[in-house]
């Protein structure tokens, strides 16, 4: 890991961004209003437009399109409709990047333990 007081490299930026994105998904409402959902949809769509790593942003934009097509084909309800579905969606988006980078895939059934509740053995309490 790089030093705390230096500009971020690609990996440090990625780690920090995933922390923010998963924590946003962890604290998203269980019953989001139309406005909550619209804000979140805009936020996600804007990431590839502003993310300061060009190759990451371009690929992520393509992944978003792919995830959207999968949702339509499998008749998934909109993924921003609840905390659980949004956290799972974010996990799947991260796994698409993991797959591309040949990193281990994360078990998305455990995403709320990792980012919201802490693990059942209590080591995060
Ligand atoms: P990270 O992948 O940063 O993960 C941080 C922590 O999240 C892990 O320790 C783990 O506990 C947890 N985690 C892992 N997977 C999941 C999951 N699926 N769901 C929930 N939690 C999980 N890097 C590139 O080199 N090329 C790219 O094209 C690229 N594209 C990116 C696109 C986006 C939108 C973002 C945010 C980052 C991108 N990155 C890219 C950075 C890359 O994803 C990693 O952040 C970076 O390689 C550091 O990886 P890491 O192994 O430290 O863990």
pTM of the complete model? 0.94
How remote is the CA of residue 111 from the centroid of ligand 1, in Å? 14
DSSP of 6-67, one letter per residue? S---HHHHHHHHHHHHHHHHHTS-SS--HHHHHHHHHHHHHHHHH-S-HHHHHHHHHHHHHH
User: How much is the pLDDT for 77?
Assistant: 65
**High-pLDDT (> 90) share of the chain, %:** 72
- Are 115 and 22 in contact by the 8 Å Cβ rule? The answer is yes
DSSP of 98-109, one letter per residue? HHHTTPPPP-GG
The answer on pLDDT for 110 being more than 90 is: yes
- Are 80 and 32 in contact by the 8 Å Cβ rule? The answer is yes
Closest atom of ligand 1 to 21 CA is 36
Ligand 1 site, CB within 6 A: 10-11, 14-15, 17-18, 22, 51, 55-56, 59-60, 91, 94-95, 97-98, 101, 103, 106, 111, 114
Residue nearest to atom 52 of ligand 1 (CA): 15
Considering the chain, what is the average pLDDT of its residues?
91
Report d(CA 11, CA 14) in Å as an integer: 5
Residue nearest to atom 45 of ligand 1 (CA): 14
User: How much is the pLDDT for 73?
Assistant: 73
pLDDT tens, 58-103?
998 988 888 877 777 776 666 889 999 999 999 999 999 999 999 9
H/E segment holding residue 35? helix 34-50
């Amino acid at each position: 890991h790089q030093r705390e007081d230096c500009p971020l490299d690609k990996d440090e930026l990625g780690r920090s961004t995933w922390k923010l994105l998963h924590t946003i998904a962890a604290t998203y409402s269980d019953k989001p209003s139309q406005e909550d959902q619209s804000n979140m949809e805009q936020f996600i769509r804007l990431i590839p437009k502003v993310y300061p790593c060009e190759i990451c942003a371009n690929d992520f934009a393509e992944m978003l399109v792919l995830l959207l097509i999968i949702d339509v084909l499998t008749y998934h309800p909109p993924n921003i409709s609840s905390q659980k579905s949004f956290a799972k969606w974010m996990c799947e988006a991260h796994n698409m990047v993991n797959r591309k980078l040949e990193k281990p895939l994360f078990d998305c059934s455990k995403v709320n333990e990792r980012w919201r509740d802490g693990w059942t053995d209590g080591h995060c309490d």
